[in-house]
Structure formats: C-alpha cells, structure tokens
C-alpha cells in the first residue's frame, strides 16, 4: 500500500491503521495578575505567598474579571486566525479537590471567547492546515504536594486562579512529527503575541492528548482516549505511540476500546486508565452567577487587531520575498521570535546570505553546545554583523573568521579589535604572497617535479603550505592566482 508523505501508520498482519490526534493545550496567560483577582502570578514564589482571599475562596469573596487576560485571549484568538465571539459566558465546573478552593473551576463551557481558527504547519511534505475548534479562558487550580510528609498532603495555592487559555485543536493531526510541529508552531505564535511564555518546564504550556485509530482509508473516527497532562513534546510522542499501538492491539484482538481518560507513566512508558466514561465526573456546568456574560464590542476587538505584531507566517513570507531566503532558512529564522529579531538586527548592516549561514550554522551550534537561548547569546548581533563585514570586505579569510568567532564567543569582544590585537588581518599584498610562494616552491623541488609531470592534485599541497607559513592569513584567492602563474 502506498504511503502518503507524513502519514503515521501502524501495520499489522492484515490491516493498516491511521492514527488520529487532537490536542487540548493549556497555555498560561502572560499576565501580572490572576484571571479573577489581583494576586501576582510569578513562578517559583514561596508556597501560598501569591494568594488573595478570592483565590483561597473565602466566604463572600467574588471574582472580578481581569481585563488584561481578556485582551490576551482575544489577541491569541486573532493570532490563530479565529473567530472572536462578541458574547461569551463563564461557567462553573464543579468538583471537589483540595487544591480547588472554590469547589469549582470557573471556565467557559458552551460559549467560549474564541471560536474556530487555523494553525499552519510547514512540513517537509508541504503545508498542513490544522483546525482550531475553540479557545476558552479558565482558572488554574492550586498544587497538591504529597511528598513533604508521609501523613499529610500540603496545598500551595499560588497557582490557584491563574488564567489559562485552553486551545482545542480539531482531530487533524496525523503523526508524531505533526504533533511536534503543531506544538512548536503554537508556542511560537503565543510567544510572538506575548500572550504565553510557552515554558513547558514551568508548566506554562501543558497538553492533554486525544488519540484514536482507524483502519486506513475509512472515514469514521475510532473511539478516542484522552491522555492527561503530558508535559513535554517527547513524552507526548511517546504517549501517543504507546496509546495508538494499544488501541490497534485491542482492535486486532476484537476487543472494545473504552472511551476513557488515561495517564501517561513516564517511567514505564505506558498509558494507564485513570477513569472510564462511566466514572467520568459529572461537572454540573452552569453559568457562574457571580459573573455577567462577557460582552466584547467590535471596536475593542478591532483595536487589539491593530496591535497584533507580525506573526511567524507573515514574517516568513517577508523573509523569502525580501531577503531571498529559502523557505527552509526562513522557517528556521522565524520559528523563534527572538531569533528573527536577532537576524534582522544583524542584517541591518551586513550581508544577508552570510548572516543566514553564520546564524543557522556557527551561532546555533554554539548556542546548542552551551544550552543557551538566542537572547543569552555570547555574541551580540552587533558584533556578528561586524564579523560578517570583515569577511565580506576581505579583511579576514573564512578560516580566520572561524577562529575569530571562537575568540568572540569567549567574551563578546569587538571583532575588529581582536583582529588588530591578534594581527589576524588577511595578507593580500601580492609582493608578500609572491615571496612566500617562491619560498615554498624552492623548499619543495621534488613536489614541483611531480606536479610538472602531471600530478595536478599537488596544487592543493602548495596552497596549504603557503597558508601554513602565513599563519593562515594569506588571502586564499590571491595565493591561488599567483601560484597558478608561478607553477
């Protein structure tokens, strides 16, 4: 059977299965205060130091909506090319848990703030449009800490009430690569917008994964299982892989797949049942009577629209059109907002092609090796741009440039100054080069003989020798030219 590019198939003796994936991403809204209270939202504070009476659900306390969080959600909706709903409703999702102080979570159920949208993925096999079902706002819960004491559980309410955006995709994802690309793209859009920092380690971005399988070519979706709270792309992929195979095995054995919620055990690399549909909570959703329906006027939405920055898709198009980059290069440079900003700063006064190569090559390798983000780059955009100009105007050779780059990486110095201090300037004086070449030729009469008798490969040997005695500073192009004449 033919495999279309990008497809993720599970093959068994008689059947081939496709895997269908949908993601519910919980993105913490970037905001200084919580969704319904003025408590701060800083990560990593001492337990229970960022908690107001509202967050701890004291008697008579009432939620008051934080308009900034609303703006952030609308902004995100616009970034997802989604419909912004003029009227949305906050509902209560009722369940008991110690880190849920109200005994209910304020969320949006039937009428979310944002409706259908799209995220575009650039896969090696072409563009994929992933549908967004909805985005709604909700409160985060606190944290239960079970490992401080053998007898007791401790509750930290710092996170209680922080605004989350739940971004629900349609079941449009078809492979682990697409899941990876989707999360990265979504994260990129959120960071461009400044609506979520996308930090998966700190839990600012978490996802529940819906997985089902179906026989290849059939239309109807299979029974899905939801895998809760998978906190890295790697675990997400492992969980999906395990879960899809588990479901295929069940079908192959003529067993039924139960619609259920499952947990991914990272140690055992398996998913296991958390609760079945029958045991599913009855959340008794109903509109929160403490909050009026949220009415957004069109000019409020239009104003936010006018403040939306250039997003990765648009930026990519501009980079291709204006700077003549390949789609691949453009993709790498725009996926991270800070990288694209760094790139644009470098090319303000230097060659685009060289800048692209140096950033995606040497600089990325350096950052990777030192596990740094571009904002922490040991080489500033200004100095990289100077380095590129030194290459471009022939002051240094490409080889020296690499040495220079390494020197710059250890203490971000002005490359011009290093070149002067260490005397790294390229030797382009034909007289000096000629004397070097004469010296090399005269010291290697045997090699000269061989060359003359037709062993032309030895040309490279002579170049190498000249470079060597020049300390790598000889202008390679000129050395080539003069050497050709001399030999």
Partner 1 sequence: MNDIISQNLTELIKNIKDKKISSEEVTKSFVEKAEKAKILNCYITEDFDSAINKAKKFDSKPNFNCKLPGIPIAVKDLFCTEGVKTTAGSKILNNFVPTYESTVTQNLWNEGGILLGKLNCDEFAMGSSNETSFFGNVKSPIDKNLVPGGSSGGSAAALASNLSPITIGTDTGGSIRQPASFTGTVGLKPTYGSCSRYGIVAFASSLDQAGPMAKNVKDCALLHEVISSYDLKDSTSIDFKRNNYSELLTNNIKGKKIGIPKEYRVDDMPKEIEDLWIKGIEYIKECEAEVIDISLPHTSYALPAYYIVAPAEASSNLARYDGVKYGFRADGENLIDMYERTRSEGFGNEVKRRIMIGTYVLSSGYYEAYYLKAQKVRKLIKNDFDEAYKKVDAILTPSTPSSAFKIGEKANDPVSMYLNDIFTVPINLAGLPGISIPAGLDKKGYPLGLQIVGKAFDEQNLLNIAYAMEEKINFKNNIKEWWIK
From 87, 98, 275, 327, residue interacting with partner 1 (rule: CB under 8 A): 98
Least distance CB 61 / partner 1 (angstroms): 8
Report if residue 104 touches partner 1, rule: CB under 8 A: yes
Report if residue 222 touches partner 1, rule: CB under 8 A: no
Report if residue 67 touches partner 1, rule: CB under 8 A: no
Report if residue 102 touches partner 1, rule: CB under 8 A: yes
Q: What is the spatial distance between Cα 29 and Cα 35, in angstroms, rounded to a whole number?
A: 9
Size of the site for partner 1 (CB under 8 A): 30
Pairing state between β 286-287 and 294-295: unpaired
Least distance CB 166 / partner 1 (angstroms): 20
Least distance CB 354 / partner 1 (angstroms): 57
Q: Given the rule CB under 8 A, which of 8-16, 100-108, 301-309, 325-333 is the region that contacts partner 1?
A: 100-108
Report if residue 372 touches partner 1, rule: CB under 8 A: no
Report if residue 141 touches partner 1, rule: CB under 8 A: no
> Which 8-state DSSP code applies to residue 417?
H
Report if residue 365 touches partner 1, rule: CB under 8 A: no
Task: Please list, in sequence order, all residues whose beta carbon lies within 8 angstroms of the beta carbon of residue 164, skipping any fewer than 6 positions away.
Answer: 26, 27, 28, 29, 35, 137, 138, 139, 140
Least distance CB 58 / partner 1 (angstroms): 7
From 96, 297, 299, 454, residue interacting with partner 1 (rule: CB under 8 A): 96
User: What 3-state DSSP class applies to 482?
Assistant: helix
Report if residue 61 touches partner 1, rule: CB under 8 A: yes
Q: What is the spatial distance between Cα 219 and Cα 215, in angstroms, rounded to a whole number?
A: 9
Phi, psi (degrees; rounded to nearest 5) at 107: -140, -175
Nearer to partner 1, 70 or 248 (CB): 70
Sequential DSSP letters for 64-122: ---HHHHHHHHHHHHHTT-PBPSEE--EEEE---TT-TTSEEEE--SS-SB--EEEEEE
From 10, 22, 28, 63, residue interacting with partner 1 (rule: CB under 8 A): 63
Report if residue 101 touches partner 1, rule: CB under 8 A: yes
Q: Yes or no: say if 174 and 293 are a contact pair by the CB < 8 Å rule.
A: no
Q: What is the spatial distance between Cα 329 and Cα 206, in angstroms, rounded to a whole number?
A: 29
Nearer to partner 1, 281 or 370 (CB): 281
Q: Yes or no: say if 337 and 311 are a contact pair by the CB < 8 Å rule.
A: no
User: What 3-state DSSP class applies to 256?
Assistant: coil
Nearer to partner 1, 221 or 291 (CB): 291
Report if residue 145 touches partner 1, rule: CB under 8 A: no
From 59, 126, 217, 411, residue interacting with partner 1 (rule: CB under 8 A): 59
Q: Yes or no: say if 373 and 338 are a contact pair by the CB < 8 Å rule.
A: yes
Which whole-number Å values give the CA distances from 191 to 42, 72, 118, 253, 334, in the listed order?
Answer: 17, 12, 17, 45, 12
Q: What is the spatial distance between Cα 47 and Cα 142, in angstroms, rounded to a whole number?
A: 10
Report if residue 277 touches partner 1, rule: CB under 8 A: no
Q: Yes or no: say if 376 and 339 are a contact pair by the CB < 8 Å rule.
A: no
Q: What is the spatial distance between Cα 230 and Cα 264, in angstroms, rounded to a whole number?
A: 7
**CA 423 to chain CA mean position, Å:** 41
Residues 281-320 that bind partner 1 (CB under 8 A): 282, 284-286, 288-292
Least distance CB 153 / partner 1 (angstroms): 8
Tokens of 403: 């040495």
Report if residue 161 touches partner 1, rule: CB under 8 A: no
From 32, 42, 49, 103, residue interacting with partner 1 (rule: CB under 8 A): 103
Report the alpha-carbon angle 433-437-439, nearest 5: 120
Report if residue 35 touches partner 1, rule: CB under 8 A: no
Tokens of 19: 């895997």
Report if residue 125 touches partner 1, rule: CB under 8 A: no
Report if residue 278 touches partner 1, rule: CB under 8 A: no
Report if residue 49 touches partner 1, rule: CB under 8 A: no
Least distance CB 97 / partner 1 (angstroms): 9
From 49, 58, 326, 455, residue interacting with partner 1 (rule: CB under 8 A): 58
Least distance CB 207 / partner 1 (angstroms): 26
Nearer to partner 1, 21 or 100 (CB): 100
Least distance CB 59 / partner 1 (angstroms): 5
Residues at the contact surface with partner 1, assessed by CB under 8 A: 53, 56-65, 92, 94, 96, 98, 101-104, 153, 155, 282, 284-286, 288-292
């Amino acid at each position: 059977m033919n495999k279309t590019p990008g497809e993720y198939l599970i093959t068994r003796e008689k059947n081939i299965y496709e895997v269908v994936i949908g993601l519910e991403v919980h993105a913490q809204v970037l905001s200084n205060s919580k969704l319904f209270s003025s408590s701060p939202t800083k990560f990593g504070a001492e337990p229970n130091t960022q908690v107001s009476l509202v967050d701890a659900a004291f008697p008579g306390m009432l939620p008051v909506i934080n308009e900034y969080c609303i703006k952030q959600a609308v902004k995100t909706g616009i970034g997802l090319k989604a419909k912004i709903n003029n009227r949305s409703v906050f509902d209560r999702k009722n369940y008991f848990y110690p880190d849920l102080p109200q005994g209910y979570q304020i969320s949006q159920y039937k009428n979310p703030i944002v409706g259908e949208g799209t995220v575009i993925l650039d896969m090696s096999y072409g563009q994929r449009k992933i549908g967004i079902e909805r985005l709604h706002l909700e409160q985060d819960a606190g944290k239960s800490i079970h490992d401080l004491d053998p007898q007791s559980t401790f509750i930290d309410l710092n996170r209680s009430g922080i605004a989350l955006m739940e971004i629900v995709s349609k079941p449009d994802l078809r492979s682990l690569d697409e899941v990876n690309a989707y999360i990265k793209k979504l994260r990129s859009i959120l960071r461009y917008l400044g609506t979520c920092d996308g930090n998966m380690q700190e839990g600012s971005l978490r996802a529940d994964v819906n997985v089902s399988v179906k026989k290849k070519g059939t239309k109807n979706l299979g029974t899905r299982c939801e895998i809760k709270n998978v906190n890295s792309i790697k675990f997400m992929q492992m969980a999906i892989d395990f879960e899809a195979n588990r479901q295929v095995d069940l079908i192959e054995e003529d067993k039924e797949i139960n619609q259920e919620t499952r947990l991914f055990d990272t140690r055992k690399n398996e998913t296991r049942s958390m609760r079945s549909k029958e045991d599913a909570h009855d959340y008794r959703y109903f509109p929160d009577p403490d909050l009026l329906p949220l009415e957004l006027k069109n000019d409020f939405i239009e104003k936010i629209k006018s403040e939306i920055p250039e997003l990765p898709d648009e930026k990519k198009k501009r980079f291709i059109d204006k700077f003549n980059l390949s789609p691949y290069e453009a993709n790498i440079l725009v996926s991270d907002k800070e990288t694209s900003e760094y790139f644009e700063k470098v090319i303000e006064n230097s060659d685009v092609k060289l800048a692209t190569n140096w950033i995606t090559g040497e600089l990325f390798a350096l950052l990777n090796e030192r596990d740094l983000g571009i904002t922490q780059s040991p080489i500033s955009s200004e100095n990289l741009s100077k380095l590129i100009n030194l290459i471009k105007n022939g002051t240094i050779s490409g080889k020296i440039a690499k040495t220079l780059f390494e020197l710059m990486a250890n203490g971000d110095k002005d490359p011009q100054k290093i070149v002067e201090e260490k005397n790294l300037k390229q030797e382009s004086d034909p007289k000096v080069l000629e004397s070097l070449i004469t010296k090399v030729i005269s010291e290697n009469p045997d090699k000269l003989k061989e060359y003359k008798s037709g062993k032309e490969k030895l040309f490279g040997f002579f170049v190498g020798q000249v470079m060597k005695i020049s300390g790598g500073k000889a202008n390679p192009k000129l050395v080539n030219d003069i050497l050709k004449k001399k030999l």
